[in-house]
Amino acid sequence: MLSQLTKNLIELERDKVLSEVKERLIQGEDPMRMIEECKEGMALVGEKYKIKEYFLAELMLSGDLFKEAMELIDPYLGENTAESDIKGKIILVTIKGDIHDLGKNVLGTLLKLEGFKIYDLGVDVNPDILVEKVKEIQPDFLGFSSLLTVTFDPMKEVIDKLKQAGLRDKLKIMVGGGITTPLVKDYIGADFQTIDAMEGVQYCLEYIKAKVLVKAKGGI
């Protein structure tokens, strides 16, 4: 059953959504639950768009509303980590042709809270510029956020170019976003795929933990 928050987001009831989020935050509710309910609402807005019950205007309104709700939730998510305790570097990006960024922003916030340094390169990023940034930043992870099928080839292009430059094996590559599947991961040549930001955070934490263990045993 849909929560009231999810229903109000689908109906684009801005005031009701924002006042409910404020109220529940004050009452000390887990902010992650509200993020999940809003995410569910966004997926259903997408369904309405698909069947032409909603149009671009509604997509845009829902995007703005989600952003406003996140702005309220952000301060309740926790403290950021000190620079000296950084667990690893992560580039997050939405590739050429795609300007969706809400999921990427949620993921960035959660990773930051877990102690990762985030290099958010934004949206509609050119593959060659991204390859240069990977060379420059040398991140532990590259995370693609993808909401449009037209991004599959440019993401594959980046990974192919990283292979040619001998950089592919120096980092783990994740792909996420509502339309991605394990098949997309295999097609582009990534290491991990999810449609759940928390699973992405878990993947990064586990990989870093394993890397630290290997180092401690005298590997790498």
Binding positions for ligand B12, 20-49, rule CB under 6 A: 39, 42-43, 45-46, 49
- Select 206 or 215, whichever has its Cβ closest to ligand B12: 206
Taking the complex as a whole, the smallest distance from the CB of residue 179 to ligand B12 amounts, in Å, to 5
Taking the complex as a whole, the smallest distance from the CB of residue 175 to ligand B12 amounts, in Å, to 6
CA dist 173 and 193 (Å) reads 9
CA separation, residue 201 to residues 123, 193, 207 (Å) = 20, 12, 10
Please say whether the beta carbons of 171 and 140 come within 8 A: yes
Taking the complex as a whole, the smallest distance from the CB of residue 176 to ligand B12 amounts, in Å, to 2
Please say whether the beta carbons of 60 and 100 come within 8 A: no
Binding positions for ligand B12, 140-179, rule CB under 6 A: 143-145, 147-149, 174-179
CA dist 70 and 18 (Å) reads 10
Encoded one letter per residue, x for contact with ligand B12 by CB under 6 A and - for no contact, window 96-135 reads -xxxxxxxx-xx----------------------------
Taking the complex as a whole, the smallest distance from the CB of residue 84 to ligand B12 amounts, in Å, to 26
The size of the interface with ligand B12 (CB under 6 A), counted in residues, is: 39
Q: Which amino acid type is present at position 211?
A: K
Taking the complex as a whole, the smallest distance from the CB of residue 173 to ligand B12 amounts, in Å, to 9
Contact stretch for ligand B12 (CB under 6 A) within 94-102, 114-122, 130-138, 207-215: 94-102
Contact stretch for ligand B12 (CB under 6 A) within 14-22, 73-81, 132-140, 196-204: 196-204
**Which residues of this protein are in contact with ligand B12, per CB under 6 A?**
39, 42-43, 45-46, 49-50, 56, 59-60, 62-63, 97-104, 106-107, 143-145, 147-149, 174-179, 194-197, 200
